[in-house]
Structure 1
């Protein structure tokens, strides 16, 4: 008899997960490859649908001068975007996205044009500082890596650009906070799907997407992220509600543990 095939729960593709982290924004850190120990927090960051990013730094920041003086006016660097957890957990990050590429400072006219374009896509009062104490930097992304409870995966810029973020990303955090604060009984019903060795831990809502719900189990031996898959991917809030009710009411669904 041959080896049994282990069927893993359906998950969004790495490119979809990367797009979802990018569009949610999160916290950003810029790390020039010339000094990987340096972590620069931009005044503002935005990852575009094509995988490139726009950043704001104070005019006097040393990285701005370093980019102007670099060969060809570009510095190698990595932009890290952290996806924070929707509720307060002892490890408050549920995913990371790294964009590796080249960073350059835009000249005055380019910076003004970029700020205007970004204000249409993502209005933000900090964009008013462009030309008045803030410089605009643009990253030209060559490769991406997404890391979360599903694993760590490389994503090409073409795959990133072709993917769409999860359809529920705008409401996910609010829904999960409501679940945490007002429906702990529902979270308790989900415990039945966990492996026996995790059932004694503290179960917290971590993520919700078209393919399922993610939980974090905080235990004495460490934290574990678990995905509970829906019977079929949800496409609307109504179908998402149906799948969640099915998951809560059916004891025969299985979990995949990281």
Structure 2
């Protein structure tokens, strides 16, 4: 019996690190369900998997987390860079222990965040806002590649995709200015997906992902590179190859 070979794709820990590095929309909720989900003023996931979270001083979670550690979950949503009817292309859930930081710890945490991600909202900590830390017990990443649990130590060992910082800009440019290229890539689609609305969905060191919006449902398709790439020059070579020599690996 022939089995369909799965296309090369980033390891789940790498996909999780990439979602965390993008810093998408976040929602925080205590695991006991006593409080509704809240959108933090600011959140930042560190390479260790721990997260610094800023909330208004008056939020009930701040007071609860000063008295004892709480179990809580931080959800990060990775949104596609182009408008889609189903815009979330990946989710990362970090579950662990939440506690409020004392003033000294809060200053140190804000300085650490500022070194990676300067943000004026950090200046509100100590002036109407409080800093909390979520220490990870488990992480789960979910996207078109599947839903996978990631141990914190594997998350810490992984690196974000090398194109994570530029992917959104490149894909928006592809969508707005190079529909001809998208059309060439769509030529790799199987017959049953022809005629759908094809959109650039993702880019990583292993390949491109397209979203095909059909009348009844959406399909995500991975078009694999011949080898993993790590530089814009290597990426350009692979894109030219894909436009002239199809190498299709399909999912959905």
Normalising by structure 2, report the TM-score: 0.97
In the alignment, what sits opposite 1:66? 64
1:255 equivalent to 2:239? Answer: no
1:188 equivalent to 2:183? Answer: yes
* Whole-angstrom CA distance in 1 between matches of 2:38 and 2:148: 24
Give the alignment partner of residue 39 of structure 1, picking from 37, 47, 50: 37
* Whole-angstrom CA distance in 2 between matches of 1:170 and 1:184: 22
1:157 equivalent to 2:152? Answer: yes
More displaced 10-residue stretch of structure 1: 89-98 or 32-41: 32-41
1:16 equivalent to 2:14? Answer: yes
- Which consecutive aligned stretches of 4+ in structure 1 deviate over 4 angstroms post-superposition? none
* Whole-angstrom CA distance in 1 between matches of 2:163 and 2:181: 20
In the alignment, what sits opposite 1:130? 125
Could you tell me whether the CA contact under 8 Å between 1:104 and 1:138 is conserved in 2?
yes
1:76 equivalent to 2:74? Answer: no
More displaced 10-residue stretch of structure 1: 36-45 or 9-18: 36-45
* Whole-angstrom CA distance in 2 between matches of 1:154 and 1:37: 25
Normalising by structure 1, report the TM-score: 0.95
Gaps of 5+ in 2: none
Gaps of 5+ in 1: none
Give the alignment partner of residue 164 of structure 2, picking from 163, 169, 182: 169
Deviation at 1:89, TM superposition (A): 0.9
Could you tell me whether the CA contact under 8 Å between 1:32 and 1:77 is conserved in 2?
yes
> Number of paired residues?
252
Deviation at 1:36, TM superposition (A): 7.3
* Equivalent position SS for 1:185: helix
Give the alignment partner of residue 85 of structure 2, picking from 90, 104, 119: 90
* Whole-angstrom CA distance in 2 between matches of 1:19 and 1:130: 26
**RMSD of aligned C-alpha atoms?**
1.1
Deviation at 1:80, TM superposition (A): 0.3
Give the alignment partner of residue 52 of structure 1, picking from 50, 53, 72: 50
Deviation at 1:121, TM superposition (A): 2.0
Deviation at 1:116, TM superposition (A): 1.7
* Whole-angstrom CA distance in 1 between matches of 2:125 and 2:77: 25
Give the alignment partner of residue 113 of structure 1, picking from 108, 119, 134: 108
